[in-house]
Amino acid sequence: MIIKCLALALFVWPVPAVAQQDVHIAYLGLADDAYYDAQPGYTGLSLRDRKRPIDGARLAVKSARTLGRAMGVQIFLDEHILPDGSDMLAAATDLANDGVFAILLDLPAQDMDSVIASPYKMPTLFNIRHVDDRYRGADCAPALLHTIPSRAMLTDALAQYLRYQNWTRVLVLHGADPDDAAETITVQNSAAKFGLRIVGDREFTLSNDPRQRDLNNILLMTRQESYDVVWLIDAVGEFGRYVPYAIAEPRLVVGAEGLIARAWHWTWERNGAPQLNQRFRRLANRDMESEDWAAWAAVQALVSAIAASKAITPQAVGDELRSADLSVDLYKGVRGNFRNWDGQLRQPILLGTHNAVIASAPLDGFEHHADRLDTLGFDQPETDCLLAQ
Amino acid sequence: MHFSADRSEFYVACADDDQIAIYSTAELTLLRRIRSVPAPETFDLHPDGRRLIVSNEEDATASVYDVESGEFLTDYETGEEPEGVQVTADGRLVFVASEAANLVHVIDLEADEVVADILVDTRPRRFALTPDQTELWVSAEVAGIVDIIDVATLKLVGDILFTPTGLRREQVTPVDIVMTADGTRAFVALGRANRVAVVDVATRSVIDYVLVGKRAWGLQLSADESRLFVANGLSDDLTVINTQSLEAITSIPVGLVPYGILIDDH
């Protein structure tokens, strides 16, 4: 530690004798990405209001100005929002050849898959959007780091809370969306991991057809078993929003409604979070969402790596990003760094309602031989990622 | 909070109201306010007794005010979230920690500019200067250590890692540091570790850890240095430590989320 600190201590005079090195970070996205479209229900109301998280990245670059000055580095965020049909792999390769230090990937799954499968040497690719566990497992890639938590981390966090509260009998309700199928498997894994008992698992359908009452009548679906809590899995959200207070038993709903696991919360009060939330609000005029935080954390991690790196090159900084000694302030009270078996950023997960954080996982009492944060998500012995790290 | 030079008044930084409130120490009444001070977080009083150097948490600046007239004198650009402010005894240099940028900025008041930005460990918060003014200690909250800077060369010369038994590194979040007047001992509030570390300054080694309340943040020594007071942010109380025996004597309930302590005992 001390040797590293001595190497880092800079004595910078404010005269322009210091050579400024330029560091470029690319943000790669698709212009008419359906992911950001409003999602009107049959009444025309939209339940979804996703904003491109580039504001998070912009905030981190802005905040790093002074540190950049002290390091002799000027950081640029280059925004590449490309039209429909663009070859994202070609675009990413061009960026790599231009010497960018990292690419933040805000791409649909198909484009993401083609970029991370690149045969060319890539700078660090940051996954700031996809929670799918496969990107940390069988579909991992050497250049890929994830700042958004995996689905497994989110369901593990909620499962820890249920275990902690002793609400161990769980009724699962899930929809027919492919994301719901993936999440159901993850929920089952988390339940097994933390000793919860899934007493029932019902699929629901958005319909009013009385012949399908077994699939659409909330009372009927929730009065057959005894349970402590309902775990709702509903990526679309149209059915799920009617579940709380409508179930047969006076029980809480968690998962997609009620108590929700997130990477970030606009009301998080600890660890300096109000300052980050206020800075984001001033820049973007809206609350910071989990994806905004993930984009912010990617740039934050890169800046921390630059500060700690011996040389300021994409390769050296990329190595520093993967170092166990990396210390990123995530504003969640821990030193963040990346798991060396799957490139996932270790981080606490916030369990919150619409306007408060009720708990932060890992909960007190959940232990681990090396790092308590690794009780969330895929631990080293469980990983399907076969890269030799 | 700070006393005025003659201790007849004390100043309180009110970050949400963008002002510094000034009270009479004897009467505990409000005397006046310095208004339009952007989000003052921490501040230090210059040895001249007139200038207040304030860190403006939301604006990435440190600003200087005349405490008598309330006049804004000047400001300096810092990294994001400046917190700790420390003036040297000769009044020439001011150190400002910028939490988000992991920097200690060195402001030369005579030259009227920032003359150095020292990269330290993650999330630097508060300072203590050794009485001989040769070493500047700064707590790095997220890194769990105290960094030591040599004031003459403005270089990092050492650090202290806190390792209370049974606690993981991430559970140790040092914030406030106080030193005895003779410079032999330092006390460091260890935040989430719920303890205060007792440090031998010369050897930079931890002598003891004293268990206090939840999230130990603010520290203050009594005038005779026989007692150390600890503000426990998350148990809403104050712990009193006997500095001879290094034992916690008692904890006293106070108001909501106590932060800092000022003692009128001269």
Task: Reply yes or no on whether the pLDDT at A268 is more than 90.
Answer: yes
Reported as a single tens digit per residue, the pLDDT across A136-165 is 999 999 999 999 999 999 999 999 999 999
Q: Does B75 lie at the interface with A, CB-CB under 8 angstroms? A: no
The answer to whether the CB atoms of A63 and B80 lie below 8 A apart is yes
Q: Are strands A73-82 and A349-352 parallel, antiparallel or unpaired?
A: unpaired
Read off the pLDDT band of B11 (50, 70, 90): very high
Which pLDDT does position A151 carry in this prediction?
98
User: For residue B218, what are the contacts with CB-CB under 8 A and spacing of at least 6?
Assistant: B175, B176, B189, B230, B231, B258, B259, B260, B261
A10 — pLDDT class (breaks 50, 70, 90): very low
**Pairwise CB contact (< 8 Å): A275 & B57:** yes
The confidence score (pLDDT) of residue A70 equals 86
The residue among A211 and A349 whose pLDDT is bigger is: A349
User: Which residues on B lie below 8 Å from A11 (Cβ)?
Assistant: 116, 118, 154-155
Which chain A residues have a beta carbon less than 8 Å from that of B120? Answer: 5
Chain B residues whose CB is inside 8 A of the A63 CB are 79-80, 100-101
**Is B115 at the interface with chain A, CB within 8 A?**
yes
pLDDT at A388: 54
Q: What is the pLDDT of residue B169?
A: 86
What pLDDT score was predicted for residue A345?
A: 98
Q: What digits encode the pLDDT tens for the residues A350-374? A: 999 999 999 999 999 999 999 999 9
Structure tokens that stand for A228 in this block: 């402590």
The count of other CB atoms within 10 Å of the CB of residue A319 is 15
CB-CB neighbors (< 8 A) of A272 in chain B: 81, 99-100, 123
pLDDT of B192 over the 50 cut? yes
Give A302 to chain B, closest Cα distance, Å. 13
* Stretch (H or E) spanning B159: strand B155-161
Q: What is the mean pLDDT of chain A?
A: 92
Computed over every residue of chain B, the mean pLDDT equals: 95
Task: Note whether B217 and B191 are within 8 A (CB).
Answer: yes
pLDDT in tens, B18-29: 999 999 999 999
Q: Residue A49: pLDDT band by 50, 70, 90 thresholds?
A: confident
B101: distance to nearest CA of chain A, Å?
5
pLDDT digits (tens, 9 = 90+) for B207-245: 999 999 999 999 999 999 999 999 999 999 999 999 999
Assess whether pLDDT exceeds 80 at residue A41: no
Interface contact flag, B113 A14, Cβ < 8 Å? yes
Q: Is the pLDDT of residue A16 over 50?
A: no
Average pLDDT over residues B98-109: 94
Q: Inspect the interface and report whether the beta carbons of A66 and B103 lie closer than 8 Å.
A: yes
Measure CA of the first residue to CA of the last residue in chain A; give whole Å. 23
pLDDT digits (tens, 9 = 90+) for A206-258: 888 888 899 999 999 999 999 999 999 999 998 999 999 999 999 999 999 99
Facing residue for B58 by CB, picked from A9, A278, A334 = A278
User: Is A11 in CB contact (< 8 Å) with chain B?
Assistant: yes
Q: Say yes or no for a CB contact (<8 Å) between B115 and A14.
A: yes
- The mean pLDDT of B196-206, rounded to a whole number, is 97
**Min distance B57 CA to chain A CA atoms (Å):** 8
Search chain A and give the residue with CA nearest B80.
Answer: A63
Q: What is the mean pLDDT of residues A298-305?
A: 97
For residue A151, give the H/E element and its range.
Answer: helix A151-165
pLDDT value at position A14?
Answer: 41
ipTM, two decimals: 0.75
Taking CB atoms and an 8 Å cutoff, what residues of chain A touch B159?
Answer: 1-2, 5
Handedness of CA A148, A149, A151, A155 (dihedral sign): negative
pLDDT of res. B191: 96
The pLDDT value given to residue B59: 86
Instruction: Give mean pLDDT, residues B155-159.
Output: 96
A329 touches B: beta carbon within 8 Å: yes
- What is the pTM assigned to this prediction? 0.86
Q: Does A327 touch chain B (CB under 8 A)?
A: yes
Tell me: pLDDT of B6 over 50.
yes
What is the distance between the alpha carbons of residues B214 and B262, in angstroms, rounded to a whole number? 20
The CA distance from B19 to B40, in Å, is 7
The answer on pLDDT for A18 being more than 80 is: no
pLDDT of residue B30 exceeding 80, the answer is: yes
Residue in A258, A327, A225, A296 with CA at minimum distance from that of residue A57: A296
Q: Given CB atoms, is A6 within the 8 Å cutoff of chain B?
A: yes
Cβ separation B156–A6 shorter than 8 A: yes
Q: Would you state the pLDDT for residue A3?
A: 40
CA A376 to CA A151: how far, in whole Å?
10
**Separation between Cα atoms, residue A307 and residue A226, nearest integer Å:** 55
* pLDDT value, residue A19: 63
pLDDT of A6 above 70: no
Identity of the residue in A10, A275, A334 whose CB atom sits nearest the CB atom of B117: A10
Distance from CA of A307 to the nearest CA of B (A): 8
Instruction: Specify the pLDDT at position A187.
Output: 98
pLDDT in tens, A169-195: 999 999 999 999 999 999 999 999 999
Q: What is the pLDDT of residue B131?
A: 96
